Structure 1
Amino acid sequence: MRAVVDPMRRSRDVRGAVKRTVAYLRPERAKLIVVVAIMVVSVTAQVLGPKILGQATNIVVAGMIGRQLPKGMTADQVIAGLRGAGQDRMADTLSTMDFTPGVGVDTSALGRTLLLALALYVISALLMWLSSRLIAQIVQNSGFRLRAEVNQTIDELPLAYLDSHARGDMLSRVTNDIDNLTQTLQQSLSQVINSLLAVVGILSMMLWISWELSLVALVVVPLAIISTAIIAKRAQPHFGTQWRATGEVGATVEESFTGHEIIAAYGLQAASEADFAKHNDELGHAVYRSQFISGTIMPTMSLLSNLSYVLIAVVGGIRIANGQMSVGDIQAFLQYSRQFNQPLAQLGSMVSLIQSGAASAERIFDLLDAKRQRPDTHAAHLAENARGVEFDHVRFSYVPGREVIRDLSLSVSPGQTVAIVGPTGAGKTTLVNLLMRFYEVDSGEIRIDDVNIADVDRDELRGRFGMVLQDTWLFEGTVADNIAFGKAGASRADVEEAARNTGVDAMIRTLPEGYDTVISEEAETISTGEKQLITIARAFPADPQILILDEATSSVDTRTEMLVQQAMTTLRQGRTGFIIAHRLSTIRDADVIVVMKDGDVVEAGNHDSLVKQGGHYAALYQAQFAGTGADE
């Protein structure tokens, strides 16, 4: 399948992206000034080389001609003799040369000239090496700051933004796009500065030698600019598609890896491969088109350069024959013309590289420009042992106009355990997200001991909570490190006590290295239930004031559930607890059971009272334990 480039996906503002990228170089402007100064000296030494070599050629040609002429005559006498013999063309040619009849090549002068040229080229190369090293420092320092800003931005983005973007695409922006942008800066910054200085320096030397030939050389410049602009305009949409498709391929691969068991269980390997092939085909097509189209810049520039070279050679030959220029000057001018077209070709080739970097820059800046979560006001602080929670006429919607929580009011006394039940989509997990300020309420207030949590620093607020989710998350590290993650500086004794309280200590000690066994989310040495037990144990060292258990026992068997229930009972003592559960057996002992439906609290009470009411909770309870499997 051939991918079609959507014109809406093309780069929106290459100039703006380049300008904003250059702004990241401002802290390095002192080094940039030094780099430019070094390059000016380097380019000056480089462009003087052909002129010096032209003088060496004149010395050689003058010596060869002088050797063939009779000694004792002057150059003026030889030229006058040729004119008297009617050989005006030869006389004009010799008039441009500094020769002495009867004297051959001045080897001393030739040696000094060649040594001067060699010295200029060596100095130019050394200075270019030094400038390249400085540019590498400038670019890497700028890339470091950009990565730091992107990382800080991700930390400040609301959960809604992260939930609405594929993780693979986000990772591609942070890795592939930033790498592409820094490589673009690394390759283009040096060449752009060097090429611009070279164009100015070479053009100055060309004008010094012959302004007439300079006009001939400049004929191709407008053609080069027009052709480069046309090619770049055609290539740019494909560069934008290339890096967008790169993110989509990364997202597809990431999803396939993390969900490979589900894909295999449902026999969806073919569908997964087809999805990957679709995005990979789009990426391959975009890369091919962008590279092919942009790759035509160099052949076009080479053709124009050769045309200019032929014109200069023809006109230069005529001027030598007419005695208007020396052989050495023509030689130098031909070198300059070739060198003049080279930086122009490099600037042309930089267009495609800059376009690719601009496409990545726009993706990075889209992330940096994303709306941040509301900043903390630090207007209030929670009491040292704050535990009472109150929801006061709370309304919330993920999508404007589609409320998930509707005018919710709920009061939880300090030390109470509140169970939240209800059918899927009732708003149970949303309630927890609002309590932790993962999302902000649309209206109303959530208070902890009469303090509006919207006025409390998020870190301070979340530091009062212990949270165990249905989805286990373990990082690559030892078992002890994963349990200690809940509390900075937790000791081994704290870790082992937490494991014993959770009933997972015996299992851990059966592992090859015990508490020092390295595990991860993808670890196959422990079961899903054991992973969840470790995440539950993680909450113990934190010693939270308010505990949230979101389907925390959903992945454990009945026997393990009993052990976890005992551990949770111990952990909840003296703390306010929120338990979200579909398995109603886990919340029978809760002080208050809140039944939610369509974003509202429809019932509240303890287990016995709610069963007697015969309402929504009773229906859920009967459906679950009668074996009907029904669910509202």
Structure 2
Amino acid sequence: MSQRSIVIGQHKPKDQKKTLKRLISYLGASKGLLLSVIIASIIATLGGLYGSYAISPLIKIIESGLTGTVTQEVMYQQLFGKLVLLAIVFALEVVAMYYSGRMMVKISQRTVATIRKEMFEHMLRMRVSYHDANAHGDLMSRFTNDLDLVGEGLNTAAASIIINIFTLIGTIIVMFILSPILSVVTLVILPLLSLMSNVIVKRSRIYSKRQQTSLGKLNGYIEESMEGQMVMQLFNHEEQAQQDFGELNQVYRKNSQFAQITSIMIYPLMQNINTISYALIGIVGGYLAIFHGLSVGDLGAYVNMTRTQGKPINEISSQFTTLQSAIASAERIFEFLDWELEPVSEDDVILENVVGDVRFENVVFGYNPSKPVLKDVTFWAKPGQKIAFVGSTGAGKTTITNLISRFYDIDSGKILIDGQDIDTLNRLELRKHIAMVLQDTHLFSGTIMENIRYGNLEATDEECIAAAKLANAHHFIKILEHGYDTEISGDGDDLSQGQKQLLNIARAAVANPSILILDEATSSIDTRTERLIEKGMDSIMEGRTTFVIAHRLSTVRNANAIIVLENGQIVERGDHDDLMKQNGRYASLYTGQTELS
């Protein structure tokens, strides 16, 4: 595979007990319902046990009638009474099982809703670096597939295991009461059942983890391909994409296949062992009935109990596969929830009124600490100044703006905002004073008015309209059928790239920031629209400290200072005239470009 390496790795679960314990802790909010489920499960278990045991008194009644111990009339009366009681018990069992099942659905859905809420809240506060390092498809897989499996595990597997454990314990107790000797024979076979179940469950656990991991990679690639479909078609990359997808699909198929095989194997294997056990009990039980006084009724009840005893073991073994899948998925979810959040402390300083004095002093930073992107960068921006960054791709321009917004923390040096070390500032409060307009536009589902108000949720309609006028977006909005109430969906697919960028600028304007960051804000629009934006931008930038990154150097001519970056270092600084006189890197870029106005 040319672009990514795909391996069926040994994805062993890290800590099953810890994951299960953490998952169970979410059930604490449903203690009352869980207790009622346990009580209902006990009632259902007792009903099932009585149904299996009832064959003994029924046979004894028939036996007493056939031997003349009681009259035929009395026998029929006793049989009728026992059958009525059995019907009542069965009815109670059905009601109890229905109730426990229904309540487990409620508990599982409540639990999954709580986890989903925590995940979304966590995602909103996660460090930007985690979003950069993980495919969105894999993150979505944790929200969808993994949560679904956790819900299924709690809903079906957990409820089934609870009932079947009670059934197994109760069955063993009744079996000892009926015949201790036969019970000893049965218990000799149980370790074999347990050993086989344990071996298969361990394998199932490994494959379940692999299955979910490979599904996340597959979903990530599908999402990436959907987003980049036009690029794929443009460069005739379809064949390579099919090959890459085929390899990912095969990995998922193999992992899913192995997980399903272990799930399929466990039931027939246990069933065959139970059949052997059933035959052995029949032989020993027949011997005891003939030579040691075991009644036919008790033998019949015991044999029936043997079948009952095998059923919960089979069910537990079968549901354990589902439960293991749920635990493997929960492990991925908790891994997500354990990703570090952006740190916010009560001791952080909150700047009430930011004037926009920004200083970098000997700043060193790298997304990977061993590979610095910025090297000993020092510059300053006085309040209200417009500072432009130019340089080759990868020089560190966008990195600087990310550091000002404190999306990342520096490795060494200092960044000062109004004389205050940025490391001591509350990053959430700091961002209230900063607005960014990026090259990649992003709009949200809702009306145009709501998208503009996204920059300041307390802004009035009049303030949003004023911001749109400032950004020169008002004209095109008014000619839309529903104006500011026009619904946007699919990230504004019905709008042109320029129109979307105008809305982004209006959104930044309504935020009324002290610091404005424009990162290639006009790179994706035509020259005519660019002139419209620049007119509005001049008004927006007035009185604000503004940092501009632009690939068209004509847009930065009027900057108070132009900083030229190369390989993470500042190589030149000055206004346009000064830099042109120096005849250095900036002059070379400016005179050599083709997009001059």
Measured against the shorter chain, the TM-score band is: over 0.9
2:187 is aligned, of 218, 232, 235, to 218
**1:73 equivalent in structure 2:** none
Asked if 1 retains the 8 angstrom alpha-carbon contact of 2:563 and 2:573, the reply is: yes
Q: Give per-residue Cα distances to partners, 1:345-371, cap 9 Å, x unaligned.
A: 111112211221122122112212223
How many Å apart are 1:618 and its aligned residue? Answer: 0.9
Unaligned runs of 5+ in 2: none
CA separation of 1:148/1:610 partners in 2, compared to 1, >3 Å: closer, same or farther? same
Q: Give per-residue Cα distances to partners, 1:144-172, cap 9 Å, x unaligned.
A: 22222222322232111110000100111
How many Å apart are 1:60 and its aligned residue? Answer: 1.7
- 1: distance between equivalents of 2:332 and 2:436? 34
After superposition, residues 473-492 of structure 1 pair within 5 angstroms as 473-492=442-461
Asked if 2 retains the 8 angstrom alpha-carbon contact of 1:14 and 1:355, the reply is: no
CA separation of 1:525/1:32 partners in 2, compared to 1, >3 Å: closer, same or farther? closer
Instruction: State the structure with more CA Rg.
Output: 1
**2:487 equivalent in structure 1:** 518
2:566 matches 1:597: yes
**1:83 equivalent in structure 2:** none
Asked if 1 retains the 8 angstrom alpha-carbon contact of 2:373 and 2:568, the reply is: yes
Amino acid at match of 1:18: L
Unaligned runs of 5+ in 1: 67-98, 628-632
How many Å apart are 1:509 and its aligned residue? Answer: 3.0
Asked if 2 retains the 8 angstrom alpha-carbon contact of 1:207 and 1:214, the reply is: yes
CA separation of 1:136/1:625 partners in 2, compared to 1, >3 Å: closer, same or farther? closer
Asked if 2 retains the 8 angstrom alpha-carbon contact of 1:412 and 1:418, the reply is: yes
CA separation of 1:7/1:538 partners in 2, compared to 1, >3 Å: closer, same or farther? closer
- 2: distance between equivalents of 1:410 and 1:341? 77
2:307 matches 1:307: no
2:428 matches 1:459: yes
Secondary structure at 2:151's aligned position in 1?
Answer: helix
**2:238 equivalent in structure 1:** 269
When normalised by structure 1's length, the TM-score is: 0.89
How many Å apart are 1:626 and its aligned residue? Answer: 9.2
- 2: distance between equivalents of 1:617 and 1:302? 80
**2:48 equivalent in structure 1:** 46
**1:61 equivalent in structure 2:** 63
- 2: distance between equivalents of 1:312 and 1:190? 30
2:317 matches 1:348: yes
- 2: distance between equivalents of 1:273 and 1:16? 40
The 10-residue stretch of structure 1 (124-133 or 208-217) with the greater mean CA deviation from structure 2: 124-133
Secondary structure at 2:223's aligned position in 1?
Answer: helix
Amino acid at match of 2:237: L
Asked if 2 retains the 8 angstrom alpha-carbon contact of 1:611 and 1:617, the reply is: yes
2:516 matches 1:547: yes
1:17 is aligned, of 6, 16, 19, to 19
- 1: distance between equivalents of 2:473 and 2:342? 38
How many Å apart are 1:422 and its aligned residue? Answer: 1.1
Aligned length in residues: 593
- 1: distance between equivalents of 2:9 and 2:497? 46
CA separation of 1:418/1:260 partners in 2, compared to 1, >3 Å: closer, same or farther? same
How many Å apart are 1:521 and its aligned residue? Answer: 4.7
CA separation of 1:126/1:383 partners in 2, compared to 1, >3 Å: closer, same or farther? closer
**1:582 equivalent in structure 2:** 551
Percent of matched pairs sharing the same residue: 35
After superposition, residues 190-209 of structure 1 pair within 5 angstroms as 190-209=159-178
How many Å apart are 1:275 and its aligned residue? Answer: 1.8
Asked if 2 retains the 8 angstrom alpha-carbon contact of 1:43 and 1:124, the reply is: yes
Amino acid at match of 2:421: N
**1:82 equivalent in structure 2:** none
**2:502 equivalent in structure 1:** 533
1:230 is aligned, of 186, 191, 199, to 199
How many Å apart are 1:5 and its aligned residue? Answer: 6.7
Q: Give per-residue Cα distances to partners, 1:68-106, cap 9 Å, x unaligned.
A: xxxxxxxxxxxxxxxxxxxxxxxxxxxxxxx24x75652
Q: Give per-residue Cα distances to partners, 1:587-607, cap 9 Å, x unaligned.
A: 111111111122222221111
When normalised by structure 2's length, the TM-score is: 0.95
Secondary structure at 1:106's aligned position in 2?
Answer: helix
Asked if 2 retains the 8 angstrom alpha-carbon contact of 1:381 and 1:451, the reply is: no
Amino acid at match of 2:567: D
Amino acid at match of 1:62: S
RMSD of aligned residue pairs (Cα, Å): 2.1
After superposition, residues 414-425 of structure 1 pair within 5 angstroms as 414-425=383-394
**1:296 equivalent in structure 2:** 265
Q: Give per-residue Cα distances to partners, 1:311-352, cap 9 Å, x unaligned.
A: 222222333333612222122112111110000111111221
Asked if 1 retains the 8 angstrom alpha-carbon contact of 2:53 and 2:304, the reply is: no
- 2: distance between equivalents of 1:626 and 1:24? 59
How many Å apart are 1:468 and its aligned residue? Answer: 0.2
